[in-house]
């Protein structure tokens, strides 16, 4: 989390607090390429510090629970009016289902077209091998088929 001097993660990434997870990821990728100590012309100390700050910001903003805590800490709310639940003495009937959230975990992402193509080719290869094995079995007169 931010140290003695308060760093606003959204400002560090050049985003508004209402930015989507995709916008956060895009800004992180661009800035990490720009400030990576191995690829920048900045002095190593400056680049390393900036790169670490960018990584810290992304780690916080890309995780739904950490982002919510951070937003509350800086005083930002995604909701116009926050209303207290009608019955504070009872737990919620069911926990929040993050799978239906607009947030994406950094490890979860949609497959790219190249990955889908590779899976398709892999499936075709598997089916082709199965057909070939059956054809060889039939031609040899295997009774176990």
Q: For residue range 11-61, list pLDDT tens digits in order.
A: 889 888 888 889 999 999 999 888 888 888 888 888 899 999 999 999 999
Identify the sign of the CA torsion 48, 49, 54, 60: positive
pLDDT of residue 73: 85
91 band by pLDDT with thresholds 50, 70 and 90 = low
- Between the CA of residue 99 and those of 18, 63, 64, 96, what are the distances in Å? 20, 13, 11, 9
Q: What percent of the chain has pLDDT over 90?
A: 29
Higher-pLDDT residue of 119, 86: 119
Residue closest to 61 by CA, chosen among 5, 99, 20, 107: 20
96 band by pLDDT with thresholds 50, 70 and 90 = low
Q: Under a CB-based contact definition with an 8 Å cutoff, are residues 17 and 10 in contact?
A: yes
* Rounded Cα distance, 29 and 55, in Å: 10
DSSP state of 131: H
pLDDT of residue 119: 95
What is the value of pTM for the model shown? 0.50
Encode 33-49: b = buried (16+ Cβ within 10 Å), e = exposed. eebebeebeeeeeebee
Higher-pLDDT residue of 140, 125: 125
* Rounded Cα distance, 60 and 70, in Å: 8
* Rounded Cα distance, 47 and 43, in Å: 6
As a whole number, the mean pLDDT across the chain is 79
Total residues belonging to the chain: 145
């Amino acid at each position: 989390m931010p140290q003695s001097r308060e760093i606003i993660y959204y400002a560090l990434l050049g985003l508004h607090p209402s930015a989507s997870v995709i916008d956060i990821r895009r800004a992180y990728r661009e800035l990490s390429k720009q400030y990576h100590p191995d690829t920048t012309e900045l002095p190593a100390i400056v680049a390393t510090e900036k790169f670490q700050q960018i990584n810290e910001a992304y780690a916080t903003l890309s995780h739904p629970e950490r982002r919510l805590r951070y937003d509350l800490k800086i005083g930002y709310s995604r909701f116009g009016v926050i209303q207290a639940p009608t019955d504070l003495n009872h737990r919620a009937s069911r926990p929040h289902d993050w799978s239906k959230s607009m947030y994406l975990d950094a490890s979860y992402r949609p497959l790219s077209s190249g990955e889908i193509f590779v899976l398709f080719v892999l499936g075709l290869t598997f089916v082709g091998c199965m057909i070939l094995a059956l054809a060889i079995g039939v031609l040899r007169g295997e009774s176990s088929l």
